Structure 1
Amino acid sequence: MAVTQNIPTYADTHCHLGWFSNRKRVAHAIGVFAVTVTPQEFLSLRDELAGEKNVALAAGLHPWWVRDASDANALCGLLPNTRWVGEIGLDAAPRHSATWDAQLATFERICSVCAETSDPEAPKVLSIHAVRSASTVLDVLERTGAAERCRCVLHWFSGTTDELWRAVRLGYHFSLGEHSLATRRGREYARILPEERLLTETDLPEGENTPTTAEDVIASLERTITGIATARKSTPDEVRALVSRNAAALLN
């Protein structure tokens, strides 16, 4: 991924690029950590995006898509051969709690395989979903060794302050977007996080196969950059340069 060699002005470190109808045009304009929600989505995009130097395509299994052990089997079979992993994680919101046991078993297995197959010279990078489950997510990452052997990014983090600082002590990064900055907690976290842990994201487009343009994505990132700058009493130029450098260091 060229983001590590020639740092793009904009870096989207949690983007569902596969849901864009014009994803290649977006990929030509910015650096993208492109997460997927199922192994099948990853496989469907792998050949199409193979030549896109600005894209790190991640193999994922979003907790909303977890049903049984076969889902984990499919993803774990891909992990030895990919450095980028996501979206993975846990979601304990009421509407997803029925699959909690399957989510937990799946996430633990994925993290174990990531830890086992991460190259110390080029550690795996994990983009992690943690809704009402941050403590459990952190427990699993530590227990499996992924916390130590992989580079972990908490996407749209909404846990408690204690959980935030626990993750900071573990060396994790945090990808912030318009969704997180729309909340008081999100703005406070943007203010207090160590600057070297800050990343920007867009997360979900308006819907699957939408005509979202590169300009739309950049505009969203710019609003996020401005929001972070306001929270930190900095300038957009300073934040823009900072998060681009952070993304480059993460994905190197």
Structure 2
Amino acid sequence: MQAVDSHTHLDACGARTAADVAAIVDRAEAAGIGRVITVADDVESARWVVQAAGWDERVFAAVALHPTRTADFTDEQRSELAALAAQPRVVAIGETGLDYYWDYSPPVAQQEAFRWHIELAKSLGKPLMIHDRDAHEDILRVLAEEGAPETVVFHCFSGDVDFAKRCAAAGYLLSFAGTMTFRNAGYLREAAALVPEEQLLVETDAPFLTPHPFRGRPNEPYCAAYTVRALAEVRGVSDATMAGILTANAERAFRLRSVS
């Protein structure tokens, strides 16, 4: 069974050409990760991921302006992102959200941009892929105020058990990255164990967050296989069963089977 890496950055992994993309996805497929969603964090990256998704049928795209880049979010950028987001192989609006760890963009600007991305996701009928760093309460508040899209994915879920329960109760999907394999991340493993199975996804966020035992080395989509195994362990199922659950969830959430 081939799982889906629901959030990676192929350009940041060093891919530039169609051959580069194929080589990365070939390595992933050999490890049991058959498809990937490559995610943009600015307009230039958004152009590239849309192009890359056209190079290889195993690659899909997500586009947005990362919250740390929203200090000066222009009308021109909004117009171009909206046009790119409408492309058929763009399967999500992301990554967007709030990041209060870094101070590159003030909270007010981040929240305004987040609201714009929420409306874009709803207008296009595409999932919203959320970046949430040190901003749990404001993320939930803004989603409630704006009205969440039909499908919301918390990329690289970073909350505790209580926050996981609140997100799950709201119907949101939680995507777990290599961080859940870190020795000091027991709270993430506890969260992953209790999320309803239909609300689970797996990702790498490559080239960042390489799972144990390779932490500190560059990450790639093939490493999602280690997180699949970690999820299987905490949930008490086989690797194949876990991969099947994750594949079905990704196909449903991102409508992968209907993408041309």
- TM-score using structure 2 length: 0.79
Give matches, 1:120-159, under 5 Å: 124-145=126-147, 147=148, 149-159=149-159
Contact 1:111 1:140 in 2 (8 A): no
Q: Does 1:162 align with 2:165?
A: no
Partner of 2:117: 110
Q: Does 1:89 align with 2:97?
A: yes
SS in 2 for 1:17: coil
Give 2:4's match in structure 1, choosing from 3, 6, 11. 11
Contact 1:63 1:103 in 2 (8 A): yes
Write the distance in 1 (CA, Å) between the matches of 2:103 and 2:73.
Answer: 17
Give 2:45's match in structure 1, choosing from 33, 41, 44. 41
Write the distance in 2 (CA, Å) between the matches of 1:132 and 1:234.
Answer: 31
Change (3 A) 1:236 1:59: same
Write the distance in 2 (CA, Å) between the matches of 1:104 and 1:134.
Answer: 13
Partner of 1:5: none
Contact 1:36 1:42 in 2 (8 A): yes
Unaligned runs of 5+ in 2: 210-217, 256-260
Write the distance in 2 (CA, Å) between the matches of 1:231 and 1:139.
Answer: 30
Contact 2:202 2:246 in 1 (8 A): yes
Letter in 2 for 1:19: A
Letter in 2 for 1:113: L
Superimposed CA distance per residue, residues 67-109 of structure 1 (whole angstroms, 9 cap, x where no aligned partner):
213154543454455542111111111x337522211111111
Give 2:65's match in structure 1, choosing from 36, 55, 61. 61
Superimposed CA distance per residue, residues 3-52 of structure 1 (whole angstroms, 9 cap, x where no aligned partner):
xxxxx612100111222322232335321111111122111332343142
- TM-score using structure 1 length: 0.81
Contact 2:71 2:105 in 1 (8 A): no
Write the distance in 1 (CA, Å) between the matches of 2:178 and 2:142.
Answer: 28
Write the distance in 1 (CA, Å) between the matches of 2:43 and 2:105.
Answer: 22
- Shift in Å at residue 110 of structure 1? 1.4
Q: How many residues align?
A: 231
Letter in 2 for 1:31: R
Partner of 1:238: 241
Superimposed CA distance per residue, residues 184-211 of structure 1 (whole angstroms, 9 cap, x where no aligned partner):
111111111111111110102159xxxx
Partner of 1:189: 191
Contact 1:15 1:32 in 2 (8 A): yes
Give 2:35's match in structure 1, choosing from 13, 27, 31. 31
Write the distance in 1 (CA, Å) between the matches of 2:201 and 2:40.
Answer: 18
Write the distance in 1 (CA, Å) between the matches of 2:208 and 2:123.
Answer: 36
Q: Does 1:221 align with 2:228?
A: no
Letter in 2 for 1:13: S
Contact 2:63 2:92 in 1 (8 A): yes
Identity value in percent: 25
Write the distance in 2 (CA, Å) between the matches of 1:246 and 1:48.
Answer: 23
Change (3 A) 1:141 1:49: same
Write the distance in 2 (CA, Å) between the matches of 1:52 and 1:84.
Answer: 17
Write the distance in 2 (CA, Å) between the matches of 1:69 and 1:97.
Answer: 13
Partner of 1:4: none
Superimposed CA distance per residue, residues 193-230 of structure 1 (whole angstroms, 9 cap, x where no aligned partner):
111111110102159xxxx79xx532x12211121122
Letter in 2 for 1:23: V
Superimposed CA distance per residue, residues 46-73 of structure 1 (whole angstroms, 9 cap, x where no aligned partner):
2343142222211121112222131545
Change (3 A) 1:206 1:174: closer
Write the distance in 1 (CA, Å) between the matches of 2:80 and 2:110.
Answer: 14
